[in-house]
Amino acid sequence: LYWQKPMRRGGDGMQLTVQDVLDYELLEGAVVRTAKEQARARPVHWVSVMEMPVENFVRRNELVLTTAMGCNNDLEVFRGFVQDIIDSGAAALMIAMGRHVYEIPKEIAQLAEENEFLLVELPWELRFSTVIEEVMIDLNDLHRQERQRSEQVQQDLLKLILADAELEKIAAYIRRELDSALLITDAHGTMQAAAGFSRAKLEEWDQQVGKGVFPIHRAAPKENRDPMIQKFRSGELGGQKIIQVPVLQVSEEAQGYLFVELPETVGDGRLDVFSVHVLEHAATTISLWRSRQNAVEETKAALRMDFVRELGNGEFTSKEQAASRARALGYDLELSYISLAGSPENFRELFERKKNGYSSFTEWSKSMVAYIEEEVHYAAHAMKRAVITGYADGYLIIFLEKPLESGQENQINFLDLIERRLGNLLPEVVLSWGIGDHAEGFDGFSDSFRHAKTALDIGRKKKGPGHRMDY
Q: What is the DSSP letter of 4?
A: S
Q: Which residues of the chain have pLDDT under 50?
A: 1-13, 267-268
Q: Where are the beta strands (DSSP E) in 51-101?
A: 62-66, 92-97
- Bridge partners of residue 468, in order along the sequence: 433
- The structure's pTM equals 0.64
Q: Is 89 exposed, middle or buried (0-12, 13-18, 19+ CB in 10 A)?
A: middle
Q: How many CB atoms lie within 10 A of CB 393?
A: 9
* Residues 6 or more apart in contact with residue 340 via CB below 8 angstroms: 398, 400, 411, 414, 415, 433, 434, 435, 436, 452
pLDDT score of 355: 66
Residues in contact with 264: Cβ distance below 8 Å, sequence separation at least 6, in sequence order: none
Strand bridging mode 387-392 / 337-344: unpaired
Element (H or E) spanning 392, and its range?
strand 387-392
Note the pLDDT tens digit of each residue in 371-407: 899 899 999 999 999 999 999 888 999 999 998 777 7
Question: Could you tell me which of 7, 106, 45 has the C-alpha nearest to residue 272?
Answer: 45
Residue 59 phi/psi, 5-degree rounding, is -90, 165
